């Protein structure tokens, strides 16, 4: 086994209207193996779907392995790398003293992140990066169709 091998994960969210029907997608690649995950909600926001995509991807991992999570959401990237440590110090409040939006999702993500060795990578969305395009396709597939 290659000790330098890392699990590659791409995540994305999609929303038709904001709020509105939304979907999330995650594409996980480990060597020759790939896993496609997607789902959605009838009434949600794009940010909630971006967070859910990362949560679902990390929840699917059964044992700790080094990984690279690539995402096109500045909201999630900044939340994890910059804002979350401060929110936690302030009891999950923003700098303005208001409750953090989507707190349940952020807290679940915080719990999952603490158990994994993750390298975060921001990628430009809709720019032809194959993993990101696949995650976008999955997110759109997850958007519930109207009955």
Would you give per-residue pLDDT tens digits along the chain (147 residues)?
455 689 999 999 999 999 999 999 999 999 999 999 999 999 999 999 999 999 999 999 999 899 999 999 999 999 999 999 999 999 999 999 999 999 999 999 999 999 999 999 999 988 999 999 999 999 999 999 865
Strand order in the sheet with 33-44: 33-44, 20-30, 7-15, 67-71, 118-122
Domains of the chain, by residue range, sit at 7-73+117-142
Q: Name the residue among 111, 77, 73, 74 with its Cα closest to residue 92.
A: 111
What's the confidence (pLDDT) of residue 3? 59
d(CA 75, CA 24): 15
What's the confidence (pLDDT) of residue 2? 57
What's the confidence (pLDDT) of residue 132? 96
Spell out the CATH class of 7-73+117-142.
Answer: alpha beta
What's the confidence (pLDDT) of residue 145? 83
| Global model pTM greater than 0.85 | yes
The two tokens of residue 29 are 């690649």
What's the confidence (pLDDT) of residue 53? 98
- Give catalytic residue positions: 12-13, 50, 72, 126, 136
């Amino acid at each position: 086994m290659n000790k330098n091998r890392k699990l590659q994960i791409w995540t994305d969210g999609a929303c038709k209207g904001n709020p509105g029907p939304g979907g999330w997608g995650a594409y996980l690649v480990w060597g020759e193996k790939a896993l496609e995950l997607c789902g959605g909600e009838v009434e949600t926001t794009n940010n909630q779907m971006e967070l859910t995509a990362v949560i679902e991807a990390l929840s699917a991992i059964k044992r700790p392995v080094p990984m690279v999570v690539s995402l096109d959401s500045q909201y999630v990237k900044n939340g994890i790398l910059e804002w979350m440590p401060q929110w936690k110090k302030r009891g999950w409040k923003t700098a303005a003293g208001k409750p953090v939006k989507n707190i349940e999702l952020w807290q679940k993500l915080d719990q999952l992140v603490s158990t994994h060795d993750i390298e975060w990578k921001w990628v430009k969305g809709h720019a032809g990066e194959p993993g990101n395009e696949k995650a976008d396709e999955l997110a759109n597939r997850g958007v519930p169709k109207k009955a």
